[in-house]
Amino acid sequence: MKLILLGPQGAGKGTQAQRLAEKTGAKHISTGDIVRAEIKADSELGRKVQEYNDRGDLVTDSVIVEMAKPHLSGADSWLLDGFPRNEAQAEALDEALTELGIEIDKAIALEAEDDELVHRLSGRRTSDATGKVYHAEHDPPPENDSDDPGPFVQRKDDTEEAIRNRLEIYHEQTEPLKDYYDERNLLVTVDAMQEIDTVTQDILDAVGESA
Ligand code: AP5
């Protein structure tokens, strides 16, 4: 299974990828996580991409493509979360996959309204220990759980200004990718305004996997 997860910030790409990876064994490849890991390690690349990340801007295409490429080979199944985000990245991905002899099965577009997305992102908490994503109200972080002791922190780019910027970029650059994948008969749309478990089930139904 090779899946692309498309959708605006807060639609639940990371949340769903996490659950689908647990249920199917597919590898979760998140370009956002890769970017944050480089920033945390204070690497040369991390210092280069930090400003973009904190403002909510996209990292330049050539940098992100080089960061994503090594993760595409070596796993039978994967879920691509946060990549591609514009047509140039989609074309670069197609080229890399052709070289590797890999075909995409589906591009899942999670759809939700902007007001709900702002509410979700302002309540998001991420575990520093495991990287797992929670929501203060809808999916609260565990208390006294040795598998995930936290701390549960708010992301630097979850300020109102950065959220608005990210959503604007999404509508301008990423949303047109729905047509890109529809033209290739790969697009499936899923209503991401539903409860988290219902969204997971809809994706599994769309790709023909049982929960
Ligand atoms: P990235 O980490 O990908 O951030 P993002 O695109 O802003 O997406 P989010 O993580 O905010 O949204 P999500 O859909 O994963 O939501 P989540 O599941 O957490 O990228 C960060 C940065 O890295 C970018 O800004 C850029 O600088 C750089 N970058 C990454 N990829 C790049 C690329 N390809 N090109 C250039 N730059 C790139 O859910 C959000 C909250 O909602 C959570 O609290 C969750 O619990 C809750 N929630 C989820 N689903 C539901 C539901 N159904 N009901 C109620 N609550 C829900």
> Catalytic: 184?
no
How many residues are listed for the chain in this entry?
Answer: 211
Residue reference for tokens 């890109």 = 180
- Determine which residue's CA is closest to atom 18 belonging to ligand 1: 12
The amino acid at residue 187 is: L
| 60-63-66-68 Cα dihedral, nearest 10 degrees | -60
pLDDT of residue 146: 85
Query: Given this model, what pLDDT does residue 210 score?
Result: 56
Q: Is 13 a catalytic residue?
A: yes
Strands (E), the chain: 2-6, 27-30, 78-81, 106-111, 124-127, 133-135, 152-153, 187-191
Asked if 120 is an active-site residue, the reply is no
Ligand 1 neighbourhood includes 120 CB (under 6 angstroms): yes
**CA of 52: how far to CAs of 12, 46, 115, 186, in Å?**
21, 10, 24, 30
- For residue 27, the cross-strand partners are 78
CB 167 less than 6 A from any atom of ligand 1: no
Instruction: Give catalytic status of residue 36 as yes or no.
Output: no
Tens digits of pLDDT across the chain (211 residues) = 999 999 999 999 999 999 999 999 999 999 999 999 999 999 998 999 999 999 899 999 999 998 898 899 988 899 999 999 999 999 999 999 999 999 999 999 999 999 999 999 999 999 999 999 999 998 999 998 889 998 999 988 898 888 989 999 999 999 999 999 999 999 999 999 999 999 999 999 999 875 5
Contact by Cβ (8 Å): 65, 12: no
- Residue with tokens 């589906």, as numbered in its chain: 106
93 CB less than 6 Å from ligand 1?
A: no
Q: Which one of 4, 6, 9, 175 would you pick to mutate in the ligand 1 pocket, going by the greatest count of ligand atoms within 8 A of its CB?
A: 9
From the alpha carbon of 195, which atom of ligand 1 is closest?
53
pLDDT at 145: 86
Ligand 1 lined by 11 (C-beta under 6 Å): yes
